[in-house]
């Protein structure tokens, strides 16, 4: 399984969208991640209030 993105990187991407007004599509190109990943982070933040990755199960 792939390693999740760091918390710092997630915060940087979300800050660019929420505070700097960058569109999700622009952020996906700028940070070289998929638009779906950003959408999942936004959903997780709306549901839990946080964008940290889910704990990995052994």
**Of 10 and 57, more confident:** 10
Reported as a pLDDT band with limits 50, 70 and 90, residue 1 is: low
Domain boundaries, the chain: 7-48
pLDDT the model gives residue 56: 79
Which ranges of the chain does DSSP label H, i.e. alpha helix? 7-18, 24-31, 35-48
d(CA 34, CA 23): 13
d(CA 17, CA 20): 6
Q: What is the pLDDT of residues 24-44, one digit of tens each?
A: 999 999 999 999 999 999 999
Rg (CA), the chain: 11
Question: Phi, psi (5° rounding) for residue 24?
Answer: -60, -40
Reported as a pLDDT band with limits 50, 70 and 90, residue 55 is: confident
């Amino acid at each position: 399984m792939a390693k999740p993105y760091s918390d710092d990187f997630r915060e940087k991407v979300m800050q660019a969208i929420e505070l700097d007004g960058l569109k999700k599509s622009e952020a996906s190109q700028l940070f070289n991640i998929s638009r779906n990943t950003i959408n999942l982070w936004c959903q997780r933040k709306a549901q839990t209030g946080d964008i940290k990755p889910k704990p990995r199960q052994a």
